[in-house]
Structure 1
């Protein structure tokens, strides 16, 4: 029954190539080997390059952060971590989160330098979620408190 479910969940031309495997486990492993992106060096390189080169630019902090999160989630799917020691896993994931905080902060626009400095001055460094929340609040505060009047168009004597 599981074998039929696996085969029927595939596009027919793909499923046909797995019809004669003896067990569901064999089907699963063959499909995983063929289509898995685990340890796909080209994809990992592409994702990391896109992350390192990401800048806020014209995007809001929310748009920038969500773009970064999507890239990190896709990158996480490229790895299959199998930890023998839970403590090592916790330490590793904390280090990854700190690295992500640095990448996120590095891509922020210059006008957010003050909040970036405040965050980097904290010990311990806040979580990525806390950093995002603080930067988002600062962006909102700046938008409200430092709102500039739109530039006025000078009138000309030429009658334009």
Structure 2
């Protein structure tokens, strides 16, 4: 129902791998209680035979779109600014990586690029991955300087996921040596 649109599903924020299972269960339960889980798992589909139900479905979609699809240049600018000024600072490496990914996913969802299957599309994807890798590496704390230098010399250049895995191994190695 439309009145559920503004209500908060869960009272706590997803923090990453630390609370994903609890958060996911809470969201699923909240959606189930509100009879909305079918919209997520695909069991609820728009009725193609009943015109009244189609109209109700479309009205709900319009209300959702009018409520949440308010973007302009300032939204994209602010998100882009967050991406380019994000630094690890007091975050753990894992938190920083997940924050970067979250911001990139948000940015991707705001920017409608045409689906391209031409020969150049893979070059554009590589370029976008390179930019993300550089953003990620630039925001790292200085403790990762030596590993960052190694990552930048690897050919072919790693993507962000592999760079994060490399940095994580180094961090684990350093932590195990400092504790012993």
Q: CA deviation at 1:117?
A: 0.3
- 1:53 pairs with 2:85: yes
Which residues in structure 2 correspond to 1:61-80 (within 5 Å)? 61-80=93-112
The structure that has the greater radius of gyration is 1
In the alignment, structure 2 segments of 5+ residues that lack a partner are 1-50
Q: CA deviation at 1:36?
A: 5.4
- Report the Cα distance in structure 2 between the residues aligned to 1:121 and 1:43, rounded to whole angstroms: 35
Which residue in the other structure is 2:69 paired with? 35
Which residue in the other structure is 2:58 paired with? 6
- 1:96 pairs with 2:148: no
Q: Could you say what secondary structure the match of 1:146 adopts? A: helix
Q: Could you say what secondary structure the match of 2:155 adopts? A: coil
Q: CA deviation at 1:6?
A: 1.7
In the alignment, structure 1 segments of 5+ residues that lack a partner are 16-30, 149-160
Q: CA deviation at 1:89?
A: 2.1
Q: Which moved more, 1:78-87 or 1:44-53?
A: 78-87
Q: CA deviation at 1:48?
A: 1.3
Higher relative contact order (CA 8 A, sep 6+): 1
TM superposition score normalised by structure 1: 0.70
- Report the Cα distance in structure 2 between the residues aligned to 1:7 and 1:74, rounded to whole angstroms: 26
The two structures, once aligned, show a CA RMSD in angstroms of 2.3
Question: Structure 1 stretches (4+) deviating beyond 4 angstroms?
Answer: none
Which residue in the other structure is 1:120 paired with? 152
- Report the Cα distance in structure 1 between the residues aligned to 2:141 and 2:92, rounded to whole angstroms: 10
Question: Across the two proteins, how many residue pairs are aligned to each other?
Answer: 127
